[in-house]
Amino acid sequence: MSRLVTSATAGSRRVPTRKIGGTAVSAVGLGAMLLSLSGRPDERQAVRTIHAALDAGVTLIDTADAYCIDGPEMGHNERLVAQAVRSWRGDPDAVVIATKGGHYRSRDGAWLVNGRPEYLRRACEASLAALGFDTITLYQHHRPDPAVAYEDSIGALKGLQEEGKVRFIGIGNASVAQIRQAMSIVELASVQNEFSPAFRTSAPEIELCAQKGIAFLAWGPLGGMSAAGTLGERHPAFEQVARSHGVSPQQVCLAWELARAPVVIPIPGSRKPETILDSLGAVELHLDEDELALLDGR
Ligand SMILES: NC(=O)c1ccc[n+]([C@@H]2O[C@H](COP(=O)([O-])OP(=O)(O)OC[C@H]3O[C@@H](n4cnc5c(N)ncnc54)[C@H](OP(=O)(O)O)[C@@H]3O)[C@@H](O)[C@H]2O)c1
């Protein structure tokens, strides 16, 4: 099974790519969430981080309208990412900014969901304005809303696609049954679920995506902000393999995720250039079967 599909140039470097819908993106994307939550860097550092990723060949940035501190700030991360991509010295059209709707933040910062069709339409229109786009390349339904029939939420995205506001449709935090349900309504381009050494329960969803040729965007791929730095201590097999290659356990982790299926695209978060540059090295790290078995715990 080939790990890498093809290769494309965005910034100064060529990075192996994978597909979302028909579009090739770097096999590792940048998760932009931490650039807008509490504990975020100042704007100059945030833009430097995004530019470093793009210069190194990243062509996928994951954002969402709800990546902000509280309700009045909705769209913060989309505006930041769009501005950084526009001010980058390379070609902004070579970069896919993937966003999401369906989560919102209350005035005091709580994470809430709204999957009603009329809300998703308003959210998509607000994302188009925040990004400065006529069409969003990948629009993802962030998380199912238990108060709304799933087919109604997905049907709303279908309507947005028919109107040309959205090119590809993705879903997030979805079960195998929800992926199948979404596939019966739309041509599904991606699924974004949590997957990391500490959280492997999305394995069946990855398997289904691999069978159907749907991109699987692994969120929290290093275990999230509070655990990513100590990944090697938490998961000694990753530390062991990292030592033998002379690389970081985080790089081994992302290479292990890439090796799981050719549809997997990890989107590690970074608040500084060093971490995304290290993470991107995973696209060139080959792990053999024995190493993969060790990391799988087989
Ligand atoms: N769909 C959803 O419901 C959902 C939910 C959560 C997240 N997401 C998406 O997934 C993305 C990633 O998730 P996440 O940011 O929560 O978790 P993560 O990627 O597992 O961890 C992020 C942390 O990893 C550190 N890191 C990154 N690369 C590293 C490296 N090579 N070596 C050492 N440390 C490294 C970063 O450090 P620094 O901060 O110091 O750079 C950051 O604090 C988000 O940005 C967002 O786009 C989606």
Q: What is the pLDDT of residues 136-155, one digit of tens each?
A: 999 999 999 999 999 999 99
User: What pLDDT does residue 3 have?
Assistant: 36
Residue of 25, 28, 33 to mutate, ligand 1, most atoms within 8 A of C-beta: 33
pLDDT digits (tens, 9 = 90+) for 36-61: 999 999 999 999 999 999 999 999 99
Tell whether the model's pLDDT for residue 6 goes beyond 50. no
Query: How distant is the alpha carbon of residue 163 from its chain centre?
Result: 25
pLDDT digits (tens, 9 = 90+) for 154-189: 999 999 999 999 999 999 999 999 999 999 999 999
Q: Which tokens hold the place of 48?
A: 């430097």
User: What pLDDT does residue 298 have?
Assistant: 84
Ligand 1, closest atom to CA 143? 3
Tell whether the model's pLDDT for residue 252 goes beyond 60. yes
Q: 10 Å Cβ neighbour count for 16?
A: 19
Q: How far apart are the first and last CA of the chain?
A: 19
Ligand 1, closest atom to CA 272? 41
Query: How distant is the alpha carbon of residue 274 from its chain centre?
Result: 19
Give me Rg for the CA atoms of the chain. 18
User: What pLDDT does residue 183 have?
Assistant: 98
CATH tag for 6-227+261-276 (out of 3.40.630.30, 3.20.20.100, 3.40.50.720, 3.10.20.30): 3.20.20.100
Tell whether the model's pLDDT for residue 25 goes beyond 50. yes
Higher pLDDT, 205 or 3: 205
Kindly state the average pLDDT of the residues 223-251.
Answer: 97
Find the catalytic residue in 67, 104, 119, 139.
67
Which residue in this structure is represented by tokens 């994951």? Answer: 62
Q: Which tokens hold the place of 93?
A: 């059209």
Q: Which tokens hold the place of 208?
A: 């289904």
Contacts of 101 (CB under 8 A, 6+ apart): 64, 65, 120, 123, 124, 127, 139, 140, 141, 142
Residue of 63, 222, 233 to mutate, ligand 1, most atoms within 8 A of C-beta: 222
Which residue in this structure is represented by tokens 């979404």? Answer: 182
The verdict on whether 67 is a catalytic residue reads yes
